[in-house]
Amino acid sequence: MKRLKVFFITCAAVALVGLVMLVAGASTGGVEGFDAVAADHDWISGSPGARASVEQNDLEFENIEAIGYMDVVIVGERYYNDMADEYELGTITEPKAGTVIALFGSNLEEPDFKVEGKTLKINAPEIEQDKITLNFSSEDVYPTVIVFCPDKELKSIKLNSSISDVEMKGISFKYADIANNTGDVDAENITSQGIKIISDTGDVELSGDLRGTTDVSIETGDVEIDTALPLDKYTMNLKTDTGEIGIGEGEIEDDDFEGYEYTQDGGEDELIIRTNTGDIEIEQMAGGVSL
């Protein structure tokens, strides 16, 4: 009788463990979800319904290529915790350059990322419209991929997406090529040897040490540039069909404008800005470089 009682107790315990495992598997869809990843990395915490993919090893890359329906955030080491706060990732106590985090709703596929040679390649699967839940939560509509970069110059950044926002902060690169149909480009405190942006609809804001040729062409949207270089050092070609052009603070007289176009001879560094519908504003940053 005693052995029989022990047998039933053992069976009940096994059944209870199995039930717990079944429930856990159902709640995560049978895969490692956001909460499971967060348990391993205490600096990650996120909104309900989102999951994260984390690469904690130092990924060695010199180039970044991203394609697909996703928002892309590229951040330098100095801004790890600022970005972690913005995206509610918690505090990164031991940041590692090369960490990639993908935030996406439970109804979306995880973006794929890998390093080939010296290039970090990110690809977001095409979104099926009938699977999108429009509940005003961005991670449930398009994935957000955050790339933490080392404080060294990247060779190239190439982003190509139909619908996306691009955010860059505190990074250096030789050349960036950004093309999207709809989305904003916000680059803060960057060091660039050349950048090209093409977009149908969206605003563009660039600030930092902009060298080489900065070429922005958009159909609808405003362009705002705060550069560390003195404005008279640039060769400029600015044009808007419907909008206003502002250069510095009173440095350029209105008589120098011909319609909605402004040109200026300067040095080797160029600002080529075109927007069909939108304003163009060019200023020198406070505390900028004096040449």
Cβ atoms of residues 236 and 217 within 8 Å:
no
Residues 6+ apart with CB under 8 A from 214: 192, 194, 195, 206, 225, 269, 270, 271, 272, 273
Closest CA to 284 of 243, 256, 252, 239: 252
> If you average pLDDT over residues 277-291, what whole number do you get?
78
Cβ atoms of residues 228 and 284 within 8 Å:
yes
- Give the pLDDT score at 266: 87
| Identity of residue 214 | T
- Give the pLDDT score at 91: 67
Q: Say how far apart CA 187 and CA 165 lie, in whole Å.
A: 11
**Percent of the chain whose pLDDT exceeds 70:** 67
- Give the pLDDT score at 220: 95
> If you average pLDDT over residues 112-128, what whole number do you get?
85
167-198 per-position pLDDT tens digit: 999 999 999 999 988 899 999 999 999 999 99
Cβ atoms of residues 71 and 111 within 8 Å:
no
pTM: 0.78
> If you average pLDDT over residues 89-98, what whole number do you get?
70
| Residue ranges covered by each domain of the chain | 1-30
Instruction: Give the helix/strand (H/E) hosting 80.
Output: helix 80-86
- Give the pLDDT score at 16: 41
5-64 per-position pLDDT tens digit: 433 444 444 344 343 333 333 333 323 333 434 444 444 444 444 566 665 556 789 999
> Which residue shows structure tokens 């050092």?
233
Three-state secondary-structure class, residue 195: strand
**Percent of the chain whose pLDDT exceeds 90:** 41
**Lowest-confidence segment of 75-79, 122-126, 161-165, 279-283 by average pLDDT:** 161-165
- Give the pLDDT score at 22: 35
- Give the pLDDT score at 161: 78
**Lowest-confidence segment of 104-108, 199-203, 267-271 by average pLDDT:** 104-108
- Give the pLDDT score at 151: 78
| Identity of residue 59 | L
- Give the pLDDT score at 127: 67
134-170 per-position pLDDT tens digit: 444 444 577 889 998 877 899 999 999 777 899 999 9
